[in-house]
Chains A and B, each alone.
Chain A
């Protein structure tokens, strides 16, 4: 009980509560479609980065293939909707379950690989998935899938007049992923994931069943990522292999988390707040000059941050806070 009370100390709640207030106010203050769209993308990528963080940050298994889970979520809920008329609110959980299954099946062989070899294997798995989806006509093949335009209604997960509902759905998804992260952090599984990241051999020596915990982290991470996939499908109303399974998406998800601070609760959220607006603004401003400019800017930023603070933005914030308190 004392533990529980301590975890609700005002100082630990103040930061998140303040951030939440800003997040709620944002679309009312910046209500232009472009601004709300950027807000939606920030929340979506914060969700994806937070999901990635469970596997990549806490368990230390760096994945460059998370688009597989995103695509699985998007395709599963969309196919359930178009073929069987099942609402995406149900479809998103089916997608999450399927993505978790994919994570376990892909994880069983790849988790035997260490470090860089695992990262390479995740790229291979994701590229295979993209190619298979692209060439399977039964699920739209290279033409992709259009979602039916249904009347604006919460039950339909479609809102045509304003993007506000999407913004708040994305916010709710992000908050659930953060709650999952905090719950994991405080439990046995959270400590075991850190042990695996730090030294799997030593973890085994104190009884940690390494493969089992890696699979659990992958399944949880995949399921949360798939929720983001369903959200994307409902938001854009069109999906194809190149929009929901690409390597560039996998890399962006990993970048958001790593830049923000892998293995830190709010790291990916910070990463998304910096990276996504930057990407969107440079894309809008420099859209005509070729697709590489925004990537050049991320690249430079990542080099800067990793030189200044390898723990990412979250570590930078911690350091600043400590200095302010000391001053």
Chain B
């Protein structure tokens, strides 16, 4: 299986802080990859570098065989690489339907078609009943779903989800996990950023762990969770002997 997304040697400094230090990994088509690490490990910075919000100091990003390192965010979305945001970003003054419609306009030939596709995407994330509600009046969990529906409506090949589960109740997390699984069944490739291990472990085919900007582990979830470096990064060196 060839890699749909290839991240090679991404390095990013903010002044004296090294946020990403030669991070490399590949994302096979159709896989769910978990990107883990404690707060401040550089997960969101890596997302920003990959999706064109930040320019990496060094390294390359290839998507579907093309070097897309210098591509703009909008251009990447056109190619099928779409992200969501850690701090949810919806169009607050617009209805849920219009939020998703704007995503659907990327591929739809006209507004009428986009509206139909937006309804379908809202259905997929379980928000069909809330279509007419303004985004500002939705709950946090609903807004996260709305953002996901907007991203889905662009008909992406790969989705980068930045902490879609954080801030949700356990029950909401369970349904979000089911939703992500169903997306993979439709052939989507997914990179899931989380700092909560329990969320990612049952979902991901493979996980990559960052700490202080560096990749410290990569492999199957079960193996990585026993990895000494990972336990140290999460719990501190004292627990690594346990």
In the complex, the chain A residue whose C-beta lies closest to that of B153 is: A206
Closest approach, in angstroms, between the C-beta of A163 and any C-beta of chain B?
A: 40
Q: Could you tell me the distance between the alpha carbons of A202 and B98 in the complex, rounded to whole angstroms?
A: 14
Closest approach, in angstroms, between the C-beta of A210 and any C-beta of chain B?
A: 7
Q: Could you tell me the distance between the alpha carbons of A208 and B103 in the complex, rounded to whole angstroms?
A: 9
Known contacts: A202-B89, A203-B102. The answer to whether A194 contacts B94 by CB under 8 A is yes
Task: Decide: B77 and A191 in contact? CB cutoff 8 A.
Answer: no
Interface string of A193-211 (1 = CB under 8 A from B): 0110011011111111110
In the complex, the chain B residue whose C-beta lies closest to that of A190 is: B111
Q: Could you tell me the distance between the alpha carbons of A191 and B106 in the complex, rounded to whole angstroms?
A: 11
Known: A191-B114, A204-B77, A208-B74. 6 other contacts (CB 8 A): A188-B110, A194-B102, A195-B91, A198-B91, A204-B73, A204-B74
Q: Could you tell me the distance between the alpha carbons of A208 and B74 in the complex, rounded to whole angstroms?
A: 6
The main secondary structure of chain A at its interface with chain B is helix
Residues from chain A with Cβ under 8 Å of B98 in the complex: 191, 194
Residues from chain B with Cβ under 8 Å of A161 in the complex: none
Interface string of A205-231 (1 = CB under 8 A from B): 111111000000000000000000000
Q: Could you tell me the distance between the alpha carbons of A191 and B150 in the complex, rounded to whole angstroms?
A: 13
Known contacts: A188-B111, A191-B98. The answer to whether A198 contacts B93 by CB under 8 A is yes
Q: Could you tell me the distance between the alpha carbons of A3 and B85 in the complex, rounded to whole angstroms?
A: 34
**22 contacts across the A-B interface (CB closer than 8 A):** A187-B111, A188-B110, A188-B111, A188-B114, A194-B94, A198-B91, A202-B85, A202-B147, A204-B52, A204-B53, A204-B72, A205-B73, A205-B84, A205-B89, A205-B151, A206-B150, A206-B151, A206-B153, A206-B154, A207-B82, A207-B106, A210-B74
- Chain A interface size, as a band, is 20 to 34
Residues from chain B with Cβ under 8 Å of A199 in the complex: 89-92
Q: Could you tell me the distance between the alpha carbons of A186 and B92 in the complex, rounded to whole angstroms?
A: 19
For the complex of A and B, list the 9 residue pairs with the smallest distance between their C-beta atoms, beginning with the closest. Answer: A207-B77, A198-B91, A202-B89, A204-B73, A207-B106, A206-B103, A195-B102, A209-B74, A207-B74
- Asked if A192 is at the interface of the complex by the 8 Å CB criterion, the answer is yes
Q: Could you tell me the distance between the alpha carbons of A188 and B92 in the complex, rounded to whole angstroms?
A: 19
Q: Could you tell me the distance between the alpha carbons of A152 and B110 in the complex, rounded to whole angstroms?
A: 47
Task: Decide: A198 and B111 in contact? CB cutoff 8 A.
Answer: no
Residues from chain A with Cβ under 8 Å of B51 in the complex: 205
Q: Could you tell me the distance between the alpha carbons of A72 and B114 in the complex, rounded to whole angstroms?
A: 38
Known contacts: A194-B91, A198-B92, A210-B74. The answer to whether A205 contacts B83 by CB under 8 A is yes
Q: Footprint of A on B, CB under 8 Å? A: 51-53, 72-74, 77-78, 82-85, 89-94, 98, 101-103, 105-106, 110-112, 114, 147, 150-151, 153-154
Known contacts: A191-B111, A208-B74, A209-B74. The answer to whether A201 contacts B101 by CB under 8 A is no
Q: Could you tell me the distance between the alpha carbons of A199 and B94 in the complex, rounded to whole angstroms?
A: 11
Task: Decide: B101 and A191 in contact? CB cutoff 8 A.
Answer: yes
In the complex, which of the residues A194, A198, A208 has the most CB atoms of chain B within 10 Å of its own CB atom?
A198
Task: Decide: A201 and B53 in contact? CB cutoff 8 A.
Answer: yes
In the complex, the number of residue pairs spanning A and B with C-beta atoms less than 8 Å apart equals 75
In the complex, the chain B residue whose C-beta lies closest to that of A187 is: B111
Closest approach, in angstroms, between the C-beta of B132 and any C-beta of chain A?
A: 14
Q: Could you tell me the distance between the alpha carbons of A186 and B115 in the complex, rounded to whole angstroms?
A: 12
Q: Could you tell me the distance between the alpha carbons of A21 and B111 in the complex, rounded to whole angstroms?
A: 32
Task: Decide: B72 and A191 in contact? CB cutoff 8 A.
Answer: no
Choice from A3, A195, A201, A204 contacting B112 with Cβ under 8 Å: A3
In the complex, the chain A residue whose C-beta lies closest to that of B80 is: A207
Q: Could you tell me the distance between the alpha carbons of A142 and B73 in the complex, rounded to whole angstroms?
A: 48
Q: Could you tell me the distance between the alpha carbons of A198 and B74 in the complex, rounded to whole angstroms?
A: 16
In the complex, the chain A residue whose C-beta lies closest to that of B135 is: A198
Task: Decide: B91 and A205 in contact? CB cutoff 8 A.
Answer: no
In the complex, the chain B residue whose C-beta lies closest to that of A191 is: B102
Q: Could you tell me the distance between the alpha carbons of A85 and B31 in the complex, rounded to whole angstroms?
A: 70
Q: Could you tell me the distance between the alpha carbons of A198 and B73 in the complex, rounded to whole angstroms?
A: 17
Closest approach, in angstroms, between the C-beta of A178 and any C-beta of chain B?
A: 19
Task: Decide: B111 and A205 in contact? CB cutoff 8 A.
Answer: no
Residues from chain B with Cβ under 8 Å of A203 in the complex: 102
Residues from chain B with Cβ under 8 Å of A198 in the complex: 91-94
Closest approach, in angstroms, between the C-beta of A267 and any C-beta of chain B?
A: 14
Q: Could you tell me the distance between the alpha carbons of A192 and B91 in the complex, rounded to whole angstroms?
A: 11
Task: Decide: B106 and A206 in contact? CB cutoff 8 A.
Answer: yes
Closest approach, in angstroms, between the C-beta of B64 and any C-beta of chain A?
A: 16
Closest approach, in angstroms, between the C-beta of A315 and any C-beta of chain B?
A: 12
Q: Could you tell me the distance between the alpha carbons of A194 and B92 in the complex, rounded to whole angstroms?
A: 11
Task: Decide: B111 and A186 in contact? CB cutoff 8 A.
Answer: yes
Residues from chain A with Cβ under 8 Å of B101 in the complex: 191
Residues from chain B with Cβ under 8 Å of A187 in the complex: 111
Closest approach, in angstroms, between the C-beta of B156 and any C-beta of chain A?
A: 9
In the complex, the chain A residue whose C-beta lies closest to that of B93 is: A198
Q: Could you tell me the distance between the alpha carbons of A204 and B105 in the complex, rounded to whole angstroms?
A: 13
Closest approach, in angstroms, between the C-beta of A191 and any C-beta of chain B?
A: 5
Known contacts: A186-B111, A188-B111. The answer to whether A206 contacts B85 by CB under 8 A is no
Choice from A186, A206, A209 contacting B82 with Cβ under 8 Å: A206
Closest approach, in angstroms, between the C-beta of A21 and any C-beta of chain B?
A: 31
Q: Could you tell me the distance between the alpha carbons of A192 and B74 in the complex, rounded to whole angstroms?
A: 12
